[in-house]
Amino acid sequence: MLTVDQDSDWTNSGDALVALDDDKTKGRTDMELLVGTTIIELIYGDITKTNVDCIVNAANTSLLGGGGVDGAIHRAGGIEILEECKEIRARQGGCSVGEAVITTAGKLNAKYVIHTVGPVWNKGINNEEDKLEKCYKNSLDIAVKHNVKSIAFPNISTGIYRFPKLKAAQIAFSSVQSFIEDEKFMDRIQFVCFDEENYQIYLKIFKEKL
């Protein structure tokens, strides 16, 4: 596998892009980067079907489920996730924007679900970029505390919260890069795109890392 020097700028990383799997039914090629000892993967598909220790949920402040990826994770994981979310609500009243909490994964093929609340986009006047960065940072920090070695992220805040997709993807990448540069250990970090537009944005970013 081709590697990226952990201390280098990813834009000068050389041939660090590797085709993993050509999905003939979707016409997509999933990609990976090896940064230090951490594999960064791009996947087009359903995050509830990923095979990782931990799935990140783009939750709302109530932690009671909703639409999009939030609803999909609750449906696939079953009532156990919702019951744990209710217990968290009883202790702390939900989850604030930019923060994250952890539950077990119910019926999902994972050990944990980390629920993080992304910001609603308001033209950037409410520190939305900083809040989105905190979503990734806090999720990764919680994952490390629970000895998670592989984690999958959705495209946080890019649905009904209307965060600009390119800007959100750039924040996601920079947050992961900072995490790795801080010498925090993770075997595998996935970016899982469910829609065409996000996938193409992430694919372009991956290719720019050559």
pLDDT in tens, 11-27: 333 334 444 444 433 43
Residue 10: which pLDDT band, with cuts at 50, 70 and 90?
very low
Question: What are the tokens at 102?
Answer: 């952890």
Residue 8: which pLDDT band, with cuts at 50, 70 and 90?
very low
Q: Which domains does the chain have, with CATH numbers?
A: 10-208 (3.40.220.10)
The answer to whether residue 9 is catalytic is no
Question: What are the tokens at 12?
Answer: 């000068």
Instruction: Report the alpha-carbon distance of residue 88 to residue 99 in Å, rounded.
Output: 13
Specify the pLDDT at position 210.
62
Mean pLDDT of the chain: 88
Question: What are the tokens at 44?
Answer: 């087009």
Residues 6+ away with beta carbon under 8 Å from 110: 50, 51, 52, 53, 54, 55
Q: Give the burial class of 129: count Cβ atoms within 10 A of its Cβ; 0-12 exposed, 13-18 middle, 19 or more buried.
A: middle
Instruction: Report the alpha-carbon distance of residue 92 to residue 112 in Å, rounded.
Output: 19
Instruction: Report the alpha-carbon distance of residue 13 to residue 104 in Å, rounded.
Output: 36
**Which is catalytic among the residues 46, 53, 70, 187?**
70
Task: Please state, as a whole number, how many other Cβ atoms lie within 10 Å of the Cβ of residue 26.
Answer: 12
Amino acid (one-letter) located at 67? G
Amino acid (one-letter) located at 26? K
Question: What are the tokens at 169?
Answer: 């993807």
Instruction: Report the alpha-carbon distance of residue 94 to residue 68 in Å, rounded.
Output: 19
21-72 residue pLDDT tens: 444 334 355 899 988 899 999 999 999 999 999 999 999 999 999 999 999 9
Angle, alpha carbons 48-52-58 (nearest 5°)? 50
Q: Which of 97, 89, 70 is nearest to 154 (CA)?
A: 70
pLDDT at 163 over 60: yes
Q: Which of 139, 153, 148 is nearest to 186 (CA)?
A: 148
